[in-house]
């Protein structure tokens, strides 16, 4: 089952997505693409793993960490599928990060490694944009880099955990304007899904809807206003969005 959230006539609806990729309401109506707005499919705490692929660690000239390097995102940054992400003016390096996102399915506290997968409700796809110009060595990666309005597309939907038999063997790909830019596999995760669920649940209580962005492999590149960016996780989904300029964004706020 694939579950999503959409905005239709100013109302938030819980919907499903059928095998043909169409959105179906609880009443069974099939909606035309373009008649509604995709929302983030989950609400909760958003954890993100930095440097969780060995190749990406090398790319950033870091040694692989000894324990998960986790940061948090605030909810303002999340947007749904097929939305716009704005690029601030006067920056040199803004890159996408395609990530498998684990969605917690039931309350988890002090969960063992053996039981951890029982607490995974499903998976979705995240694009964890970063603006490297703003990096500072305080609580790095700092919120100005990673928690910006519109900078974390997630979705389009959550696919049930039962429909993803092996989350540790999924290809991860990013396309800019149709061109393949980033490719990796979740088999190269340094800390895998059960490890992360167990690790976090030993710090704090996880609740349904909490998200764990599991990190990104190598293959980062700068994006430009006008670019269409698709991040894809095999067997989970493909998440599209478009980069716009700050001026365009400010104009859209003015309404």
Partner 1 sequence: MYHYRIKKHGKVASLQVETAGEVPLENALLPAVNGAVIGVALNDKTLYNSLEKQFNQKPHVSPPKTPVLHIKTDNTHIGYGDTIRIPTTMGAVFAGPSLGIVMGKKACRVTQENAHDYIQGYTIVNEVSLAETSFYRPAVKAKCRDTFCPIGPWVIDASDVDNAQDLKISTYINDELCHETNTDQMVHSIEKIVAYISSFITLEVGDMIIAGTPLRTESLEIKAGDVVAVEIEKIGRLVNSVAAE
| CA 131-133-136 angle, 5° bins | 100
User: Which residue stretches of the chain are H helix?
Assistant: 54-59, 143-146, 193-201, 246-254
Q: Which stretch binds partner 1 (CB under 8 A): 142-150, 153-161, 224-232, 234-242?
A: 142-150
Q: What is the 3-state secondary structure (H, E, C) of 96-126?
A: CCEEEEEEECCCECCCCCCCHHHHEEEEEEE
Q: Which is nearer to partner 1, 53 or 199 (CB)?
A: 199
Pick the binder of partner 1 from 62, 112, 144, 169 (CB under 8 A).
144
Q: Which is nearer to partner 1, 174 or 241 (CB)?
A: 241
Instruction: State in angstroms the smallest separation of the CB of 222 from partner 1.
Output: 19
State yes or no: cis peptide before 154, omega within 30 of 0.
Answer: no
Pick the binder of partner 1 from 81, 148, 173, 240 (CB under 8 A).
148
- Phi and psi at 174, nearest 5°, equal -120, 135
Residue 185 binding partner 1, by CB under 8 A: no
Binding mask 30-59 toward partner 1 (x if CB under 8 A, else -) reads ---------------x-x------------
Report the C-alpha gap between 225 and 20 in whole angstroms.
31
Q: Which is nearer to partner 1, 68 or 237 (CB)?
A: 68
Residue 60 binding partner 1, by CB under 8 A: no
Instruction: Output b/e per residue, 13-38; b: 16+ Cβ within 10 A.
Output: bebebeeeeebbeeeeeeeeeeebbb
Q: Site residues for partner 1, window 217-246 (CB under 8 A)? A: none
Pick the binder of partner 1 from 137, 166, 178, 179 (CB under 8 A).
137
Instruction: State in angstroms the smallest separation of the CB of 77 from partner 1.
Output: 8
């Amino acid at each position: 089952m694939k579950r999503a959230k959409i905005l239709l006539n100013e109302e938030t609806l819980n919907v499903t997505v059928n095998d043909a990729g169409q959105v179906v309401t609880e009443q069974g109506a099939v909606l035309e693409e373009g008649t509604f707005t995709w929302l983030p499919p989950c609400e909760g705490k958003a954890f993100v793993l930095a440097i969780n692929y060995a190749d990406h660690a090398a790319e950033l000239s870091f040694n692989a960490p000894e324990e998960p390097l986790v940061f948090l995102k605030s909810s303002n940054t999340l947007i749904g599928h097929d939305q716009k992400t704005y690029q601030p003016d006067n920056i040199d390096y803004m890159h996408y990060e395609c990530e498998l996102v684990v969605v917690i399915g039931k309350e988890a506290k002090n969960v063992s490694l053996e039981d951890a997968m029982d607490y995974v409700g499903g998976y979705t796809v995240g694009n964890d944009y970063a603006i490297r110009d703003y990096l500072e060595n305080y609580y790095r990666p700092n919120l100005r880099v990673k928690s910006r309005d519109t900078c974390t597309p997630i979705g389009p939907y959550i696919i049930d955990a039962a429909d993803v038999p092996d989350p540790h063997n999924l290809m991860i790909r990013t396309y800019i304007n149709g061109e393949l830019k980033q490719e990796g596999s979740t088999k190269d995760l340094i800390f895998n899904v059960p490890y992360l669920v167990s690790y976090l649940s030993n710090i704090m209580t996880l609740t349904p809807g909490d998200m764990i962005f599991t990190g990104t492999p190598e293959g980062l590149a700068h994006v430009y206003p006008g670019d269409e960016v698709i991040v894809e996780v095999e067997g989970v989904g493909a998440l599209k969005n478009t980069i716009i300029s700050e001026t365009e964004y400010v104009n859209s706020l003015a309404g």
